[in-house]
Amino acid sequence: MSTNVESYLTAETQIQQDTGVDESLNPKKDDARTVSPLDYIFMWIGDGVNLGNMTLGASLVVAGIATLNVVQTMAAAIIAIGIISIIFALNDRLGYRTGIPYVVQLRMSFGLKGSVISSLMRGIPAIVWYGFQSWIGGTALNEIAKIVTGGAFDSVAICFVVLQLVQIGLSLYGFHAIKWVEALTSIVILLALIYVFGVLLTSHSAVISEKWVNAEGTWGLPFFAFIMVFMGNYAAIFLSAADYSRELKKGISDAKRGFLYFLPILIAYGFTLAIGGMLASATGISNPVKAFALVVDNSYITIFVSAFIVLGVVAVNMVANIIPPAYVITLLTKVKFKPAVIITGLLALGSFPWVLVQDSSAEGLNIFILIYSAFLGPIVSILLVEYYILRRQKVNIAELYKEDGPFAGYNPNALLAMFIGAGAAIIKVELAWIVGFVVAGIAYILLTKYAFKDSKFRKGTIFE
Q: Which of 175-184, 354-363, 391-400 has the lowest mean pLDDT?
A: 354-363
Residue 199's pLDDT is what?
Answer: 81
Q: What percent of the chain has pLDDT over 70?
A: 86
Mean pLDDT over 236-242 rounds to 84
d(CA 248, CA 32): 9
- Whether 50 and 316 have beta carbons less than 8 Å apart is answered as yes
CA-wise closest residue to 197 among 57, 299, 78: 57
Per-residue pLDDT at 1 exceeds 60: no
d(CA 431, CA 231): 10
* Most confidently modeled range among 58-72, 114-128, 285-299, 435-449: 435-449
SS3 282: helix
Ordered alpha helix ranges (H), 284-318:
288-295, 299-316
Looking at per-residue pLDDT, the higher value among 312 and 180 belongs to: 312
Residue 20's pLDDT is what?
Answer: 59
pLDDT mean across residues, the chain: 82
**Taking the domain 18-353, which CATH number applies?**
1.10.4160.10
Per-residue pLDDT at 294 exceeds 70: yes
What confidence tier does 191 reach under pLDDT thresholds 50, 70, 90?
Answer: confident
Per-residue pLDDT at 47 exceeds 90: no
Residue 5's pLDDT is what?
Answer: 47
What confidence tier does 262 reach under pLDDT thresholds 50, 70, 90?
Answer: very high
Mean pLDDT over 25-48 rounds to 85
- Whether 77 and 349 have beta carbons less than 8 Å apart is answered as no
CA-wise closest residue to 72 among 275, 214, 209, 283: 214
Mean pLDDT over 422-439 rounds to 86
Residue 181's pLDDT is what?
Answer: 65
Residue 415's pLDDT is what?
Answer: 94
Q: Which of 106-110, 227-231, 246-250 has the lowest mean pLDDT?
A: 227-231
Residue 364's pLDDT is what?
Answer: 60
Residue 278's pLDDT is what?
Answer: 85
Q: Which of 195-209, 305-319, 354-368, 398-412 has the lowest mean pLDDT?
A: 354-368
Mean pLDDT over 76-105 rounds to 91
Mean pLDDT over 258-274 rounds to 87
Per-residue pLDDT at 423 exceeds 90: yes
φ/ψ bin of 35: left (φ > 0), alpha (ψ from -120 to 50), beta (otherwise): beta
Report the alpha-carbon angle 103-53-338, nearest 5: 35
Q: What percent of the chain has pLDDT over 90?
A: 25
d(CA 329, CA 335): 8
Mean pLDDT over 232-254 rounds to 86
Per-residue pLDDT at 331 exceeds 70: yes
Give tens-digit pLDDT for 197-221.
Answer: 888 888 888 888 888 888 888 898 8
CA-wise closest residue to 420 among 451, 391, 389, 392: 451
Looking at per-residue pLDDT, the higher value among 146 and 67 belongs to: 146
Mean pLDDT over 437-443 rounds to 96
Per-residue pLDDT at 437 exceeds 90: yes
Looking at per-residue pLDDT, the higher value among 447 and 194 belongs to: 447
One DSSP character per residue, 328-394 reads: HHHHHH---HHHHHHHHHHHHHTS-GGGT--SS--HHHHHHHHHHHHHHHHHHHHHHIIIIIISTT-
d(CA 122, CA 191): 32
What confidence tier does 17 reach under pLDDT thresholds 50, 70, 90?
Answer: very low
Residue 414's pLDDT is what?
Answer: 95
List the end-to-end C-alpha distance of the chain, in Å, as a whole number. 21
Residue 434's pLDDT is what?
Answer: 86
Residue 397's pLDDT is what?
Answer: 92
Q: How far is CA 259 from CA 38, 82, 119, in A?
A: 12, 10, 27
Radius of gyration of the chain (CA): 22
Q: Which of 2-6, 27-31, 459-463 has the lowest mean pLDDT?
A: 2-6
Residue 35's pLDDT is what?
Answer: 87
Residue 95's pLDDT is what?
Answer: 94
Per-residue pLDDT at 92 exceeds 50: yes
* Other beta carbons within 10 Å of 456: 14
What confidence tier does 9 reach under pLDDT thresholds 50, 70, 90?
Answer: very low
Q: Which residues make Cβ contacts (< 8 Å) with residue 38, sequence separation at least 6?
A: none
d(CA 233, CA 372): 10
Residue 175's pLDDT is what?
Answer: 62
Residue 385's pLDDT is what?
Answer: 97
What is the crossing angle of helices 37-48 and 299-316, to 10°?
120
Dihedral of the alpha carbons of 41, 42, 43, 48, in degrees to the nearest 10: 90
CA-wise closest residue to 287 among 345, 364, 230, 233: 364
d(CA 2, CA 181): 36
Residue 16's pLDDT is what?
Answer: 46
Mean pLDDT over 301-325 rounds to 78
